[in-house]
């Protein structure tokens, strides 16, 4: 189930608690405290965390009464985008992996990319079904039932902005969508400018998709062309997985992972206890030397929901920059 959520979030693409350098360190400290410390020790000051446009949408007055009456979203990133366009009350169906914004669980689940429930979707009488651009099976099934659907880009950072604009047009809210894309792009650009001026020691970063596995096994990671890889570059660092992955996300065997020898490993999931953190470093140290393990440089950027390539990408970028600032002192 956990890997299914990770893949769904990345395809729906696809803040901030950090692991510690020491056994008794800062793994479980609040995200706000960590970011405040990162900002306090950086020069110039790290910009504040961008707004959450998903939970607080801004709708163009001319478009408040426009848009489909009944929408089904079949990806976490699309669900967030629909909410950011002010259409939360029009959602009648979602995937079980759509867990944001809070309260979205009240919308009926209708399956996901790998297990869609076409009959349940049809029973909801949607005016529009939104799916990711590579959802061939979904598109075929919906087409056979005569259900209207729209394809949404989902892989790269540029795709995120394209998804906002195309979903805005599909939902008859182009002005709202255009403004949303502009403000998110401005947030991302401001953070990138900060990183360009401030990062002195670029690191080779591995982005693990979900929690870092214990005991050691192959790792699913963000590759070139993924929005997470793009965010790492904007944060002033290098995506280490680009040496072995040729796709946006994929599995890296242990032997290849040791060969990559990343400086830092960034991951997503819940904070670990002191015992879990000890187990992570001890178990991984047994497979042989690896810089990120030997120097205890595994960090949690945020929960798995931030693997979604949706309207909160600037928040994810902020989390990556704040987390990585620890290694630039």
Q: Is residue 221 part of a domain?
A: yes
Q: What is the CATH number of the domain that holds 74?
A: 3.40.50.1980
Residue 192 covered by a domain: no
Local confidence band at 203 (pLDDT 50, 70, 90 cut-offs): very high
Residues 67 and 159 both lie in one domain: yes
Task: Tell which wins on pLDDT, 51 or 306.
Answer: 51
Q: Which among 165, 199, 200, 213 is positioned nearest to 317, based on CA atoms?
A: 199
Strand partners, 205: 239, 264
Assigned domain for 288 exists = yes
Parent domain of 164: 61-185
pTM (2 d.p.) = 0.86
Give a yes or no: residue 190 inside a domain: no
Give how many domains the chain has, as a whole number.
Answer: 2
Sign of CA dihedral 292, 293, 299, 304: positive
One domain for residues 71 and 174: yes
On whether both 168 and 107 belong to a single domain, the answer is: yes
The domain boundary, picked from 185, 211, 231, lies at 185
For residues 180 and 220, state if they share a domain. Answer: no
Q: Render pLDDT for 140-155 as a digit per residue (tens, 0 to 9).
A: 999 998 998 999 998 8
195: in domain: no
User: Residue 171 — pLDDT band, cuts 50, 70, 90?
Assistant: very high
Per-residue pLDDT at 8: 52
Kindly state whether residues 211 and 283 are assigned to the same domain.
yes
The Cα–Cα gap between 314 and 237 comes to 16
pLDDT on residue 3 = 52
Within this chain, do residues 118 and 149 fall inside the same structural domain, yes or no?
yes
Please tell me the predicted confidence (pLDDT) of residue 44.
72
Q: Is 305 exposed, middle or buried (0-12, 13-18, 19+ CB in 10 A)?
A: buried
């Amino acid at each position: 189930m956990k890997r299914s959520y990770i893949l769904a979030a990345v395809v729906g693409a696809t803040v901030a608690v950090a692991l510690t350098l020491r056994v008794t360190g800062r793994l479980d400290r609040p995200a706000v405290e960590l970011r405040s410390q990162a900002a306090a020790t950086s020069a110039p000051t790290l910009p504040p965390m961008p707004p959450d446009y998903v939970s607080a949408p801004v709708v163009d007055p001319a478009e408040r009464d426009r848009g489909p009456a009944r929408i089904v979203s079949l990806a976490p990133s699309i669900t967030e985008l629909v909410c950011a366009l002010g259409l939360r009350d029009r959602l009648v169906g979602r995937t079980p992996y759509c867990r944001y914004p809070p309260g979205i669980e009240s919308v009926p689940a209708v399956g996901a990319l790998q297990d869609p429930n076409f009959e349940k979707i049809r029973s909801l009488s949607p005016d529009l079904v939104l799916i990711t651009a590579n959802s061939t099976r979904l598109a075929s099934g919906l087409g056979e039932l005569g259900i209207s659907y729209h394809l949404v880009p989902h892989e790269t950072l540029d795709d995120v902005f394209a998804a906002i604009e195309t979903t805005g047009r599909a939902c008859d809210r182009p002005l709202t969508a255009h403004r949303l894309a502009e403000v998110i792009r401005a947030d991302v650009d401001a953070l990138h400018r900060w990183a360009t001026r401030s990062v002195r020691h670029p690191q080779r970063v591995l982005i693990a998709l979900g929690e870092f596995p214990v005991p050691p096994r192959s790792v699913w990671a963000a590759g070139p062309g993924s929005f997470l890889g793009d965010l790492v570059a904007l944060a002033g660092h290098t995506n280490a997985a680009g040496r072995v992955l040729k796709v946006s996300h994929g599995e890296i065997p242990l032997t290849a992972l040791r060969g990559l020898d990343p400086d830092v490993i960034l991951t997503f999931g819940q904070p670990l206890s002191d015992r879990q953190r000890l187990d992570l470093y001890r178990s991984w140290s047994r497979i042989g030397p690896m810089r990120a393990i030997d120097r205890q440089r595994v960090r949690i950027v945020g929960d798995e929901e931030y693997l979604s390539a949706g309207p909160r990408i600037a928040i994810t970028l902020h989390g990556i920059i704040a987390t990585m600032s620890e290694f630039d002192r």
